[in-house]
Chains A and B, each alone.
Chain A
Amino acid sequence: MSVNKQKTAVNAAELIRNNSVPIMFIIICAVCIPLAGFSPSYLFNEIITRIGRNTFLILSLLIPVMAGMGLNFGMTLGAMAGEIGLILVCDWQIVGIPAMILAVIISLPIAVGLGLFCGRILNMARGREMITSYIMSFFINGIYQLVVLYMMGSIIPIKHSNIKLPRGYGIRNTVSLLRMRQKLDKLIPLKLFGADIPVMTFIIIAILCFFIIWFRKTKLGQDMRAVGQDMEVAKDSGINVERTRIISIVISTILADIGMVIYLQNMGNIATYSSHSQIGMFCIAALLVGGASVDRASIGNVFLGVTLFHMMFIVAPAAGARITGDSMIGEYFRVFVSYAVITIALVMYETKKRRARSRVGEQLKLEQGTGEEAA
């Protein structure tokens, strides 16, 4: 009986330790919500909007995690491709849903190309995928700026002066997407508890979730899981490890491309030079807040993460303003927290690995102990 009790106690401790990040965020939100003093319907509305806006992007992180490539900033490249597509359709004066579809079609080849490139590079940097992809996102950002700031308007024809810089080439800091703003979200209008529900966006997210679930059951999904756990064994069994890893990155950049278009249609404008730069960081932080780790992430982690992380985003500035009288403190807090979450999650991943290693030693010690009793 007491052994059982002990076991449940150990299990509970283990459960808390394994989920310490989400638990920490639940506590933060629980403290901040009453302090912020928002009405429940406002909070509900905000959360629903943000779930619709971000979930697709975060889901694009899942497949590289499955293939053992960690939390991968390769998605930032897909996001840049999506922005280029949107800028072009915006200049061509196409509106609404067709504009979004066209933007995806235009940017898809770019996303695939960048994914192939990124996958190749990451194959050379095995075990250091996260930092390599992070640095690579800076590099590609440079090329993106070259294209958008110098080539658009000079080499790539841009007609309309409202998105062009006054000097005649280059794109303005902000491109308005007024004519496709929330067109997808409001395609099927529904109001629930005073909040607009982006039904169509949710349907697309659901389709993606089903796709990921289905994908896990395919041969390719199985191969990715095998590669993710042990590249050597996978290679010995005849799986083409490098190709499989590249495919996982390409899928991720494609999904991020589509995700970015959905994200920006909700926002209603593109911050041309900064929209993509923080998206990777925030998506990874949200996923980690949902309890994912470097080698394990599920759809459940995505939804829990996006809810908790954005809940904190909404309530922390208000709570900060209430306490200190300065709303900047909340803004500071949310940037600080997203970096802190990533650091904590990475450190915890390492300590967990260490602990597993020292457990083998404990086992040996234990065996030896029983040996003595027997003798």
Chain B
Amino acid sequence: MEKGKAPLLELKNIKKDFFGNQVLMDINLTVNEGEVIGLAGENGAGKSTLMKIVFGADVIRETGGYGGDIILDGEKVAFETPFDAINAGIGMVHQEFSLIPGFSSTENIFLNREPKRKNVIAEVFGERLCTLDRSEMHVRAEEAIGRLGIHIDADMLIKDMPVGHKQFTEIARELSKENMKLLILDEPTAVLTEKEAEILLNSIRGMAERGIAVIFITHRLQEILNVCDRVVVMRDGYLIEDVKAAETSEADITRAMVGRNVDKVEGRSVKELDPGEGKTILSVKRLWVDMPGETVRDVSFDVKEGEILGIGGLAGQGKLGIPNGIMGLYEAGGTVIFDGQEIPLNAPRKCLDASLAFVSEDRRGVGLLLDESLGWNIAFPAMQIKDRFLKPYLGGLIKWRDEKAIEEVTQKYIKELAIRCTGTRQKAKELSGGNQQKVCLAKAFALEPRLLFVSEPTRGIDVGAKALVLEALKRFNRESGTTVVMISSELEELRATCDRIAIVSGGKVAEIISADASSEVFGTLMVSLVR
């Protein structure tokens, strides 16, 4: 740090909770002019939340603001909206593209900041009737793209561009802003080819030389080491490490990222499964799934009868696409063989008939009938798929709901899973997140499946409920012998619950390893194929 010069940005004791769920704890961070900072951490470590606070994102204000101070250029600031942040010279490139598909690169770079030509009508009816100064736009767009050191056709429509060029367009948009001081890049290289990533990294250095500070979030640790001055590692809402890039290594960062007292975690020593042992119940071959943001490419793996298989990996790498594709919720291709029989893809009913069940990560959208009672929620799939809880009349011509049986089974699950509710007739939407999750599980349990996919079972629920949900899964697996495939972003949870864990990276299974492997191995696998 240069002495005598105030840092560009200073974060002091930043705290943030989402409805009592603490996600950031006392973050202190300084950024100097022209400095490149690499920000690393697992999913849910708080990187994105921290950046959203700096950028004044609406979601922060809507969830009750943050604690602590942000000091920009020696002045305390509190951005109400991203526009305030932009006016103060902060730019952010998000993971999802914020581009208009039918506009050219130039038009996107100058979206709502177009240079204008005055005319008579505009004098009368106001600014918005000025015509656009296309030639000026073109020149300035070329210039902004030129600064990145690459060639993009400034007149090409975004929808015709390869992903990399879209990313560059977004960065060029930020660079074309005159007062840019601090640029936040959220995983900019995730969609780039190696060569494009190299060009981007070079241009980041170029920006730094012009005095623009850059905060660079990436899962590719080598990039951080190559391009950053300092490395900041976050974990579970804490800032764990803040060191010079020259003084650290990939292994150090990985350790800090997954860290914890991981090697003491108790694996599931209930039964040790040899890879060769046990019958293969589900065999997935060359699966591809087109799930937006969670694309799966060429995935093959086997599941043994009676085991709990974990699927882990970073967000957006495709782990959620696997169960959603197999269960037919998103378009998929490849072969899935369950218990010797091929399951047709893109047909949810066929999967359910074959005794597969799925607890979706989208609880409110896919998982629950929000406006119906608990009893109905729990019994509904079993009624539809298995003809359970139905009383036949007239020799099976008419089937009526068996309210008594529904009541019984609901009571049983309320007790077993400790669902906190007023009774079996309470509506599902009135329950808290954790209890809704338990209802989703009960629903799947009531189907008595032979294989159960559970996707992000603990997302957005509190610690107590988490333990209960995981315990219920383990018990269900043990007692009824159901094979479970559990997908989760939380590695620790997988390690505590599963027999084997498949790590997905770049849409592919990097490797399937035993749950008691060391955390560094997992960390390395998670970023191994990131694209």
Question: Taking CB as reference atom, which chain A residue is nearest B332?
Answer: A361
A237 near B288 with CB under 8 A, answer no
How big is chain B's contact interface, by range? Answer: 20 to 34
Q: How far is the CA of A367 from the CA of B299 in the complex (A)?
A: 13
Report chain A residues within 8 Å CB of B82. 236
Q: How far is the CA of A364 from the CA of B286 in the complex (A)?
A: 11
Known: A226-B103, A233-B100, A371-B298. A218 touches B132 (CB 8 A): yes
- What's the dominant secondary structure at chain A's contact region? helix
**CB neighbors of B among A300-332 (8 A):** none
Residues 251-271 of chain B, each 1 if its beta carbon lies under 8 Å from chain A, else 0: 000000000000000000000
Report chain A residues within 8 Å CB of B98. 232-233, 236-237
Which of B37-45, B110-118, B235-243, B387-395 interfaces with chain A? B110-118
Q: How far is the CA of A223 from the CA of B131 in the complex (A)?
A: 12
Q: How far is the CA of A239 from the CA of B100 in the complex (A)?
A: 13
B481: Cβ under 8 A from any A Cβ: no
Q: How far is the CA of A365 from the CA of B101 in the complex (A)?
A: 24
A238: Cβ under 8 A from any B Cβ: yes
Known: A226-B100, A233-B98, A361-B333. A219 touches B288 (CB 8 A): no
Report chain B residues within 8 Å CB of A222. 107, 114, 132
Report chain A residues within 8 Å CB of B286. 368
Task: For A229, give its contact among B101, B288, B289, B297 (CB under 8 Å).
Answer: B101
**CB neighbors of A among B88-118 (8 A):** 98-103, 107, 111-114, 116
Q: How far is the CA of A220 from the CA of B122 in the complex (A)?
A: 11
Number of A-B contacts (CB under 8 A): 80
Question: Taking CB as reference atom, which chain B residue is nearest A211?
Answer: B121
How big is chain A's contact interface, by range? Answer: 20 to 34
How many Å from the CB of B91 to the closest CB on chain A?
12
**CB neighbors of A among B298-329 (8 A):** 298
Report chain A residues within 8 Å CB of B331. 357-358, 361
**CB neighbors of B among A333-375 (8 A):** 357-358, 360-361, 364-365, 367-368, 371
Task: For A364, give its contact among B83, B128, B290 (CB under 8 Å).
Answer: B290
**CB neighbors of A among B312-371 (8 A):** 331-333
Write 25 A-B pairs (CB below 8 A) sorted by A numbering: A217-B132, A218-B122, A218-B128, A218-B129, A218-B130, A219-B127, A219-B128, A222-B132, A223-B112, A225-B102, A229-B100, A232-B98, A236-B82, A238-B83, A238-B112, A357-B290, A360-B290, A361-B288, A361-B290, A364-B297, A364-B333, A367-B297, A368-B286, A368-B288, A371-B298
20 A-B pairs besides A220-B129, A233-B100, A361-B333 with CB distance below 8 A are: A218-B130, A218-B131, A219-B131, A222-B107, A223-B112, A225-B100, A226-B112, A229-B101, A230-B100, A230-B101, A232-B98, A234-B112, A236-B82, A237-B112, A357-B290, A364-B288, A364-B289, A364-B297, A365-B288, A365-B333
